[in-house]
Chains A and B, each alone.
Chain A
Amino acid sequence: MNTANNLIYLIVSALLGVMAVSGVFGRANLSRLEVLVEFPAEIFAGKTIPVKVTLRNHRRFLPAFLIRVLIDDREFLFALVDTRQESTKYVDYSCPVRGRRRIPDVHLCSVFPFNFFIRCKNTGHACEYVVFPEPRRCHLADQLERRHEHRGEHSSRGLGYEGDFLAVRDYLNGDPLKYINWKASARTNRLKTKQFASQLAQPVMLDFARIDIKGLEEKLACLTYVINRLYKNNVPFGLRFKHKIYGIDLSYSHKLNLLTELGLYAQD
């Protein structure tokens, strides 16, 4: 008979049992997780930007405990993400040089449950983004500003509030009170709103080759600044490269296309 032995066996069995189950839990803790890394649309070299990292737990029963997300040299700790939930973290991120950047792998690591081992898993989540050149004020911007003042604005085909009177239409919720055409409203017994054309500045066509700035990076920085400026001031713009022309436009995607072109210039 070895009765005291059996109680010690019981303790040892319990410890072994816990260790075995903890191993399974440690593995399960890294399964069915998704990491989403979202960069802002505009990333300028040298500027700090917020990056959004989301950890999504697709599991039904087990929350995600103590997950460390490793991106590049950055780490994000998610203490607890409940089942079928997600958690988001923002981190300030800055890239010193322009060009295409790639985050090859996103790693998930955890010491859960007992901090005896670190388990890691490569989610294989590759992520690409383009860093635009750093915008820098230059004499070209000043020249354009002066020209803008000199040449004035003209009405565009788009609808707005500052240009020529175009038409009268039915009132829609949200129309400013001052644009209601009271006369027409009284006549028709229904609320009517006045419509105007939008006011646009004279378009600007930039020619990459003819811009007189020494140094490629300086030139790109200047152009980035100018494009930002023009877009902000509602001035339609285009850009001509040696073999490629971006026509006059004033859309956000147009701006992004141009900035991407500048960001990747002479790199690919």
Chain B
Amino acid sequence: MLKIENIINYITYTIIAICYTSVLPHINLTVSLICVLIGAISFYLCLFKHYALPNIILTSSSVAIIGMAIWRISPDDFAMPALEALALLVAVKSLQQKKFRDYLQIYAMSIFLLAGSSLITTDIMFLVYLLILLFLLNAAIVFLAYRSEDDSLVLDYKGAFSIISKSSYIAILSIPLTAVFFLVLPRTDYPFLSFLNVGKAVRSGFTEHVELGRVADIQENSEVIFRAQMHRVRDADLYWRGIVLDYFDGRSWTAGEKSFIADEPTPMAGEVAQTIYLEPYYSKYLFALDKPIQIQLRNSKKTDDLNYLAGKTIAVRTKYFARSVPTGIIYAITVDRNRYLQLPAGVSPELVKLVGSLVENKGRDQHPRVFLDFLQGADFSYATRSLPISETPVEDFIFQHRYGNCEYFASALAIMLRIAGIPSRLVGGYHGGNYNELGGYYVVSQYQAHLWVEAYTDGGGWMRLDPTPASAVPIQSSGYQQVMIRVGKAMDVVNYYWNMLILNYNFKTQLTMVNSLARTKREFQSIFTKNMWLSLAAVIASGCIILVYRVIAVNKKMPASNKLVEKFVKKMRKYGYTRNSNEGLDEFLWKIPDDSLREKARQFVSSFQRIYYRDEEFTRKQTKALKRLLTEL
């Protein structure tokens, strides 16, 4: 037997656990641990000791928590203290002696926690938590209604299960309604909770400021930076252009003053259209396949070195369209030589000497090739760990360590080109991507962040040079088993649709939907071919038949015994023996003069009566045996 109070408590603690799972991994570790600890203590006290802490202690600690949160809140960090305080308040609240109202408060706070988790992550797990919460809250409040009617109520397992299962229909039926409400609720472009989330910095593989050796562990960050819906292109063309860096101070690269130009795209042969879903990464640069021709995003700007900047920092997942021509050459007639030949003060004479010796007796157009061959020679190796950090990282890389990541290779090449008098610049972005055939898009992760070089040749324009050893940059993820990759890809498709359908649903999409609904008839005619109409009709018709059949079947639901007798009587009628309505089965048997038939009929009747007159339910096995006897008749 189950006490109603205990059922409610079990469900309530599960609800708290679910909300904690959604939030705790993202907030301060100490706070998380405190929450879990208090939650566990509260669970133990409540269910095993039936003890609640005095209200005065709980109220004062709640006030303290809120005070702490207010004290910790700063203009650029609002969300975290608020969420942490909420998580703590839930834990403290659970220690209380709970009435109907208190349970509802806990549930409300749990929902707020889940809503708050959307500030930190917009992962699809949110939907999973929401669904679980929907069912649990539904069950919890139904049991609370029971408790409010009779708090000493005790239910058996069957009754409790029946209440849970039957009341869960509410949650199940509310799912389609949820979808409808989600589609029709009036939208606003103003993000409700964005005020909580100001200037949050995230670690990204991509940086606007490249300091050699400082962001060494990007290669281990497997978070997705963007997905690009497009057809598949050659792996060698998978350079996603982000930012051009042209100023080197000896240790780090930065982008100089950018000048914006008008975006006047002209249609070009071999264009690749992309729809890009960029994850929030708190920078303004937009990515597209190199070389981009056009990016369509409101308020975005194009720079003279083919960079695109969003109107504001990308703090939410952003969707935009891009057109590119996959090529490593960017035509340019003129070049700002001062800008692209800039060298840091104090370039070592050894480096100048090295460059001189490398290009000796070589034509000017061969210089880039010579430097590339030098850096891709056997002396240099690729590494992502224990990178040389010093005052003169490029020189140290070339003359001493001879290992490094793309930052070192690209910097070395750019500097060598500049020493040789060839204008050059660094391009930051991503290289590679995993194509998802199911969804038809590339997934580009942080670890695919990359730097390459563009060198200007007179008459030829800017030419892409990538000195980093080819094997070093993982174009396609490898090392996993094939199956795992497939599972991962399938999971990513779910994620992709979650982003596309749920997260990016906005007023514009809503408007489009309303318009398309207004044109339903025409739309339907264009969408559905004649065959599809037929199959739709067939589906509806079969649905109706099943429904009618079910209704009839349920109406005709009679005990197995009656069905068997009915079958028996029907069979005997075929032999010409009709049983009167007031006639017993034994009596009926006497009317059959045919000995063999009567004997068979008697077998059925006696087996039937042996079960029937014991007032037993007919088991499946017994019914089967009796049916077999009937067929033998």
Check B170 against A25 for contact (C-beta < 8 Å).
yes
Contact of A21 among B126, B162, B177, B193 (CB under 8 A): B177
A-B pairs under 8 A by CB, number: 150
Encode contact with B along A89-127: 1 for CB under 8 Å, 0 otherwise: 000000000000000000000011111000000000000
A65 interface contact, C-beta 8 A:
yes
In the assembled complex, which residues on chain A have CB atoms less than 8 Å from the CB atom of B127? 10
B221 interface contact, C-beta 8 A:
no
In the assembled complex, which residues on chain A have CB atoms less than 8 Å from the CB atom of B169? 25, 62
Residue of A17, A63, A112 contacting most chain B CB atoms (<10 Å): A17
Given contacts A1-B504, A14-B174, contact A9 B182 (CB under 8 A): yes
Interface stretch of the complex, out of B183-191, B359-367, B404-412, B467-475: B183-191
In the assembled complex, which residues on chain A have CB atoms less than 8 Å from the CB atom of B554? 60
Check A6 against B162 for contact (C-beta < 8 Å).
no
Residue of A10, A12, A24 contacting most chain B CB atoms (<10 Å): A10
Contact of B178 among A13, A24, A77 (CB under 8 A): A13
Give Cα distance in the complex from A25 to B163, angstroms.
13
Contact of A3 among B115, B163, B503 (CB under 8 A): B503
B134 interface contact, C-beta 8 A:
yes
Contact of B130 among A14, A77, A113 (CB under 8 A): A14
A211 interface contact, C-beta 8 A:
no
Given contacts A2-B316, A8-B118, A20-B174, contact A66 B179 (CB under 8 A): no
Contact of B174 among A18, A77, A79 (CB under 8 A): A18
Give Cα distance in the complex from A12 to B115, angstroms.
10
Check B185 against A9 for contact (C-beta < 8 Å).
yes
B175 interface contact, C-beta 8 A:
yes
In the assembled complex, which residues on chain B have CB atoms less than 8 Å from the CB atom of A112? 142, 145
Closest Cβ–Cβ distance, residue B598 to chain A (whole Å): 30
Closest Cβ–Cβ distance, residue B401 to chain A (whole Å): 43
Check A82 against B162 for contact (C-beta < 8 Å).
yes
Check B149 against A2 for contact (C-beta < 8 Å).
no
A68 interface contact, C-beta 8 A:
yes
B192 interface contact, C-beta 8 A:
yes
Contact of A66 among B146, B176, B193, B504 (CB under 8 A): B146
Give Cα distance in the complex from A2 to B502, angstroms.
11
Give Cα distance in the complex from A7 to B111, angstroms.
12
B138 (CB) vs chain A CBs: closest residue:
A18
Check B318 against A1 for contact (C-beta < 8 Å).
yes
Contact of B115 among A7, A77, A82, A114 (CB under 8 A): A7
Closest Cβ–Cβ distance, residue A27 to chain B (whole Å): 13
Given contacts A1-B317, A80-B159, contact A66 B118 (CB under 8 A): no
Check B505 against A114 for contact (C-beta < 8 Å).
no
Give Cα distance in the complex from A115 to B141, angstroms.
8
Residues 344-401 (chain B) with a chain A CB within 8 angstroms: none
B575 interface contact, C-beta 8 A:
no
Closest Cβ–Cβ distance, residue A52 to chain B (whole Å): 20
B114 (CB) vs chain A CBs: closest residue:
A11
Encode contact with B along A59-83: 1 for CB under 8 Å, 0 otherwise: 0101101101000000001011010
Check A13 against B185 for contact (C-beta < 8 Å).
yes
Check A2 against B174 for contact (C-beta < 8 Å).
no
Give Cα distance in the complex from A82 to B165, angstroms.
12
Contact of A4 among B119, B134, B173, B506 (CB under 8 A): B119
In the assembled complex, which residues on chain B have CB atoms less than 8 Å from the CB atom of A60? 554
Contact of A14 among B100, B134, B503 (CB under 8 A): B134
Give Cα distance in the complex from A17 to B182, angstroms.
10
A88 interface contact, C-beta 8 A:
no
Check A4 against B149 for contact (C-beta < 8 Å).
no
Total interface residues on B, CB under 8 Å, equals 61
A166 interface contact, C-beta 8 A:
no
Given contacts A21-B173, A21-B174, contact A79 B150 (CB under 8 A): yes
B167 interface contact, C-beta 8 A:
yes
A80 (CB) vs chain B CBs: closest residue:
B159
Closest Cβ–Cβ distance, residue A144 to chain B (whole Å): 48
A113 (CB) vs chain B CBs: closest residue:
B142
In the assembled complex, which residues on chain B have CB atoms less than 8 Å from the CB atom of A115? 100, 141, 144-145, 148
Check A79 against B159 for contact (C-beta < 8 Å).
yes
Check B506 against A1 for contact (C-beta < 8 Å).
yes
Give Cα distance in the complex from A80 to B169, angstroms.
16
A36 interface contact, C-beta 8 A:
no
Give Cα distance in the complex from A1 to B508, angstroms.
10
A16 interface contact, C-beta 8 A:
yes
Closest Cβ–Cβ distance, residue B457 to chain A (whole Å): 40
In the assembled complex, which residues on chain A have CB atoms less than 8 Å from the CB atom of B142? 65, 112-114
A5 interface contact, C-beta 8 A:
yes
In the assembled complex, which residues on chain A have CB atoms less than 8 Å from the CB atom of B187? 2, 5, 9
B194 interface contact, C-beta 8 A:
yes
Give Cα distance in the complex from A127 to B123, angstroms.
61
Encode contact with A along B136-154: 1 for CB under 8 Å, 0 otherwise: 0110011011101110010
Check A2 against B189 for contact (C-beta < 8 Å).
yes
B122 (CB) vs chain A CBs: closest residue:
A3
In the assembled complex, which residues on chain A have CB atoms less than 8 Å from the CB atom of B224? none
A48 interface contact, C-beta 8 A:
no
Check B162 against A3 for contact (C-beta < 8 Å).
no
In the assembled complex, which residues on chain A have CB atoms less than 8 Å from the CB atom of B176? 17
A257 interface contact, C-beta 8 A:
no
In the assembled complex, which residues on chain B have CB atoms less than 8 Å from the CB atom of A11? 111, 114-115, 130
Give Cα distance in the complex from A3 to B187, angstroms.
11
Give Cα distance in the complex from A18 to B170, angstroms.
6
Check B170 against A79 for contact (C-beta < 8 Å).
no
Check B502 against A10 for contact (C-beta < 8 Å).
yes
Residues 573-630 (chain B) with a chain A CB within 8 angstroms: none
Check B141 against A79 for contact (C-beta < 8 Å).
no
Check B145 against A111 for contact (C-beta < 8 Å).
yes
Closest Cβ–Cβ distance, residue B562 to chain A (whole Å): 16
Closest Cβ–Cβ distance, residue B477 to chain A (whole Å): 26
In the assembled complex, which residues on chain B have CB atoms less than 8 Å from the CB atom of A8? 115, 118, 192-193
Contact of A7 among B122, B159, B506 (CB under 8 A): B122
In the assembled complex, which residues on chain B have CB atoms less than 8 Å from the CB atom of A12? 181, 185
In the assembled complex, which residues on chain B have CB atoms less than 8 Å from the CB atom of A7? 115, 118, 122, 126, 502-503
Query: What are 16 A-B pairs at a CB distance below 8 A?
Result: A2-B506, A5-B191, A5-B193, A9-B187, A12-B181, A13-B178, A13-B181, A22-B170, A24-B173, A63-B162, A66-B149, A68-B149, A80-B159, A113-B138, A113-B170, A114-B142
7 further A-B contacts with Cβ under 8 Å, apart from A2-B189, A4-B122, A7-B126, are: A3-B503, A10-B178, A11-B115, A16-B178, A79-B155, A113-B142, A114-B144
7 cross-chain pairs, A with B, having the tightest CB-CB distances, nearest first: A17-B174, A17-B177, A13-B181, A115-B145, A7-B118, A17-B178, A13-B182
